[in-house]
Chains A and B, each alone.
Chain A
């Protein structure tokens, strides 16, 4: 299982490295877990990467999960149609 831990404030300034980590993780065999436990809020750039990753996981039948989302992050995910 590859665990990718997001920072307290992940946004457009550091989305590049998050994107690269995910692309790399999808190139490997392990399942992927995104850990939001230190994250206060996200921005739309991160959300887009998460949505694209979700699609990629479905296409490749890979397990892609998220954990530790705060109330704020859960609300943000829901706004972007990522409530589950």
Chain B
């Protein structure tokens, strides 16, 4: 791949992340009006501009340049970030996305851009300036505004002599870097620069060695250099510790308190110098001095002391990007080690008692290590769900506006981590549930007011760990689910007989059946009774479950329970004939040996087994997989009762072999296209065992 192609690919990947963050921050800005958000948004657009220029996306570069002008006016307080501007910026992001995805070749792209730019100009010309704040009402910066959290980075940036030939301007990169904070030390390296007459002006000679004071994390600094790092001598070192204050040196400590106060705009340099002069020769603390002189309040000094402590305690977090394919490979290799261990354990069984005991003891130690190793690898696959939640801010905003509603999205527990694969596959179900909540969970503003509620509705996305599972709650503060109406719909659909008793849980479970909805009208969004069944199926395919709780007039909660990872399961090994299968332990209800009289054949249901008065379909696994069993009569074999999607079936097996942790290996339709098989695992003796997908099995037999 040529360099330009690589640059473009890197840019496309990075731009997707930047656009997602931008979108979320823009929606938050509409509610929160925080100056930090404006700064972040400006910086994102600035980075997009710089990177798009380097990657050769000329239209995106020109467009983001104009957006930057608009944002600069917002940042400087000349324009208010009202709904019109946020709307425009969001549509602008859509345009940028389209431009990048289509390689700037989508039809109508230029017209779209021109239309948007006209709106930008119109806003700039027509928006009245923001009135200045009334004097006297300023109680000083809030703690949030005073938040420091600065880090210091030593950055050495040198560039190849021929870098201009690639179309890269290192000055643009340095401008981006400088925009991230304050440069407290700078040395422009000119050693390589020849005399004027001897220089080749098309070669690059300059470099930098500087210290940047910034709130941005190391990752942000790295992003600035992402397009040049591979070929050029660039180093970034976090040297915050060198800048942090030694507690043994009171003089430096006091100076740093002064620096913090100046940085927060509480003291001016002149006031600080005045206080320091007074301090000379006196054993007085600078904080006390500035309070005594009336330069700062006690609270402001306390805040600065707190910030000083934070800086000292700040721990560096270094991160690297790793291809998930490499992690999967690592996990597979570890799986091989576990298989090897099982094989050795098998040999230990065959040795004499003393040698076998010694070998098993050695294996226990190894087993502990491999389990810990496995946990560590799994933890690398875990990513926070926050970014996935954040992407719904725009969705909630736009969808609510389309329905004349004002709905706020609150996010709680965004730091909760779960397997990357699970996160990728939970988006659609979440979107569907949020759409339902917007469409008929949250009432129109007038109805809410009449009920004594806040005009604006709230949807909360909450995530947390509990008992080895991850829970995601989609909570709305709307009208709740009308159980009377739901019952009527269930009766219409023939799911309940009139007058038949049904618990609340059973009633609510009908919502997950195809064709059941409580919505009066079929909306653009939902109400057709199509979708919640798909949601449930999707969640169950992730080996998860979903349940609903609702309170009339107060709202509803959809609680999704998910496994931490899809890569490993606790499985029960079962034997059918000479083959071994794995049944996910979570799906097993019980196992039993049926009596001959418990086996019946029921019309339209086929062969069933009676378990405590309930008929459960019987599945002869040997028939399904076309193999030779040990037993053909159910009363001679064992039956494992499993459950998925609210249905139970009994699987005929010859023997239960025991449970173990299984590293799932994907089959990718190489062996079977049967939905009843979800993957495979390699056993200790080297045999391959298929993992039974209970959800797929039930679907397959119900056809």
Contacts and interface: CB of A to CB of B under 8 A. Distances in A.
B188 interface: yes
A12 interface: yes
Contact of A79 (B171, B195, B199, B202): B171
A77 B609 CA distance: 85
B201 interface: yes
A15 B175 contact: no
A49 B171 contact: no
Contact of A51 (B174, B175, B193): B193
Interface string A6-27: 0000011001101100110010
Interface string B181-197: 00000101010011111
B202 A43 contact: no
Contacts of A55: 193, 195-196
Contacts, number: 73
Given A15-B201, A80-B188, A81-B186, A47 B196 contact: no
Contact of B171 (A23, A47, A56): A47
Given A11-B169, A52-B194, A16 B201 contact: yes
A78 to B, nearest CB: 9
- Interface size, B (range): 20 to 34
B327 to A, nearest CB: 39
Contacts of B169: 11-12, 43-44
B196 A12 contact: no
Given A48-B193, A80-B206, A19 B201 contact: yes
B625 interface: no
Interface of B is mostly: loop
B201 A43 contact: no
A53 B174 CA distance: 22
B202 A56 contact: no
Nearest to B172: A43
Majority secondary structure, A binding face: helix
A26 B679 CA distance: 77
A44 B206 contact: yes
A82 to B, nearest CB: 9
Contacts of B364: none
A11 B202 CA distance: 9
Select the residue from B172, B194, B201 with max chain A CB neighbours within 10 A: B201
Interface string A63-84: 0000000000001100111000
A40 B257 CA distance: 40
A49 B195 contact: no
Given A18-B201, A19-B201, A76-B175, A45 B164 contact: yes
B178 interface: yes
Task: Give the one of B196, B202, B205, B206 with max A CB within 10 A.
Answer: B196
A16 B202 contact: yes
Contacts of A53: 196
B193 A52 contact: yes
Contact of A56 (B164, B170, B195, B201): B195
Interface string B202-213: 101110000000
Interface string B534-552: 0000000000000000000
Contacts of B175: 75-76, 79
Given A26-B196, A55-B196, A56-B196, A49 B201 contact: yes
A83 B275 CA distance: 30
Interface in B266-318: none
Contacts of B190: 51
Nearest to A54: B196
Given A18-B201, A51-B190, A43 B195 contact: no
A76 B174 CA distance: 9
Interface of B: 164, 169-172, 174-175, 178, 186, 188, 190, 193-197, 199, 201-202, 204-206
17 contacts: A12-B202, A16-B202, A23-B196, A43-B172, A44-B164, A44-B169, A48-B193, A48-B199, A48-B201, A48-B206, A49-B201, A53-B196, A55-B193, A55-B196, A56-B196, A56-B197, A79-B171
Given A44-B171, A45-B202, 11 more contacts: A12-B164, A12-B201, A48-B205, A49-B196, A51-B193, A52-B193, A52-B195, A56-B197, A76-B171, A79-B171, A81-B186
